[in-house]
Chain A
């Protein structure tokens, strides 16, 4: 009996998120119309989740070292806006605009977060709460609060289109996810992050330069948000100054539902991806059941509490 309970705990620890995902899938396939499980709709769920996947991958890094990044939504908007402006106002080609506007700006905005955290020693929650407002304001100033559109079709096609039946945004998200999975699980840098999240002081005494890692983590978070900015802009066909508002909440929720410990040191990229899919699944499923939007937030919120409480309950059991 004892060994069975123990093994259940171990299985839950590894596959808890997958179990919740399958559970949700089963529930919706019972209550939602049969079209819910159709290939087209599943693709739709993946597409809708792709932006959350992207920023949640970055958010995961910051939570892993027991920090947080609240500025990701604003970074998405600002980098998306800069990318669009580079193409529309300066006539830059798609690749250069993406590299400068999305990749470089994302890294830069993340680096600003990381440097501020390291220099001031203020908790990341406060710093990124501040930069969230600052980056959003910069987006509004830069755009004069107007949406920017009219960029080359190749941009929309490449980041928001469909290629051989596969949504490109999902492709981009998966490429980033695989890359981030490799970084977290196969490199010394990634292992160091788990160790820092597990015990920052021990990590410092073991020779890990904690500050450099914190900086790197925020740059990765910014990079993911920057790429997400390109994807979102492409999908919407315009860079909206007020776009991506509140995305940080979904990113944090996806990471936590995906099994990331809010106190750092625990979690995995595949878990985060499934976490993002669960969020997409709920909103899509409730839509299919014609549940009004307000109730969707209710469901998401309750699921977040339920998933984490269940996880805590199971892992506390001896």
Chain B
């Protein structure tokens, strides 16, 4: 059978990183092709090349027998490629029908001259499409009033509306209940029966067999294997294809922490959020260790740390730093008491993009030195300069001058500035939420080094990461969360990627 699309020897380089080394991937008509791999394996990059968002460095894409060096978003959709992203792209304040025909509403001539939208015709088409995907709500319902699974159906109907031949679904079940997932599988089977090629990206091992015909596993930008599902004997076989990587041990401390005698730096007891995205979670951080937090999307890691740091959504539980109970109240009080949080979104909630490096470095320290929560106090440019200079050297921030606006730095250096900001404020516990997200490999290693050094200096270090190899390479113990609950704490000596995944889904 001739493939609908064939991507041959795709290579994609970003400045400083090779995202895809040499990947080949094809989709046959009427099949569900699973695309698997860990975070950073290159799945999204590959799909973004297919949708025309990225241009491959080399390689070719063959669609319906025509070969292309690259696609554009427009060309890609003209060729019948439709991608449904995890963050759905439906417009909430339009109706289902309008969403299906957004940008290409049918037009008729009113009184023979005036072009107006032909509502009757598109409502009728929309009704047909909605029925096809099993959407029971009237098509004039606002999409904002639909559930997530219904919104997903609208997305699929949208793909059908443009007569898509290839539908890519990026983790479609990540926010669905099991009943909704089964419903979705029914729709996918219908698509398959209609000769559409479906690319299905997922992390959930148990659904693969239910839906997949073939599977391709990516690892570090390379294809590990493409196999028919009936050749695969167990889920473990897939997991071992996805992982099975040499764990970098270089960031481990020389002498492992002796948990019987080590001092507890930080202890959290029964932390529960009002929205239950953290439910009765207790853990401690020992002197000298980096404590990792692992979990799938929606496990509630970021939510837990945000609550501890800021008191948002806080319902019950206690925290202790060096044995002293601290209030869970607001960022200011946490910072004053020595708890710091490096947020996941550096751009949105980490840096001050209009300000220079000095300002970014000294801000929190200045706040702590002034009175009345930062309201009363004077600026001391010389002291600021000294603090900034010291942190610049400590963190090895590469910059021409402290007067440089922070956004002129690379992502890794921006991250170092943020760490420097917290170090300047004498943090005793630093929570790193995805600290290596979006920074190049060299700086990643430096970040690991920084975390280890802080731990050795006696600062409590917590690291949240979605990249298991990095957790295994840096942490001493790993707390595994799933759906707001603590599933287990693994010592690094026993931990492996398989064990973490199993603990999380147990």
Contact = CB atoms under 8 A, between A and B. Distances in A.
A189 B349 contact: no
A64 to B, nearest CB: 11
B352 A202 contact: yes
B374 A199 contact: no
Contacts, number: 95
A65 interface: no
Q: What does DSSP make chain A's interface, helix, strand, loop or mixed?
A: helix
Nearest to A266: B354
A261 B331 CA distance: 27
A265 B376 CA distance: 20
A198 B352 contact: yes
B379 interface: yes
Contacts of A202: 348-352
Interface residues of B, number: 34
Contacts of B470: none
A212 interface: yes
A188 B366 contact: yes
A242 interface: no
B331 A191 contact: no
B379 A186 contact: yes
Contacts of B378: 186-188
B336 interface: yes
B354 A206 contact: no
Nearest to B335: A207
A154 interface: no
A266 B352 CA distance: 12
A206 B363 contact: yes
A206 B373 contact: no
Contacts of A18: none
A10 B233 CA distance: 66
Contacts of B363: 191, 195, 206
Interface in A53-112: none
A195 B360 CA distance: 9
Contact of B355 (A186, A187, A198, A207): A198
B331 A265 contact: no
A29 interface: no
B434 to A, nearest CB: 14
Contacts of A189: 374-377
Interface of A: 185-192, 194-195, 197-199, 201-209, 212, 216, 261, 265-266
25 contacts: A188-B366, A188-B370, A188-B375, A194-B354, A198-B354, A199-B348, A199-B349, A199-B353, A201-B348, A202-B349, A204-B331, A206-B335, A206-B363, A206-B364, A206-B421, A207-B334, A207-B335, A207-B336, A207-B364, A207-B367, A209-B330, A212-B373, A261-B354, A265-B354, A266-B354
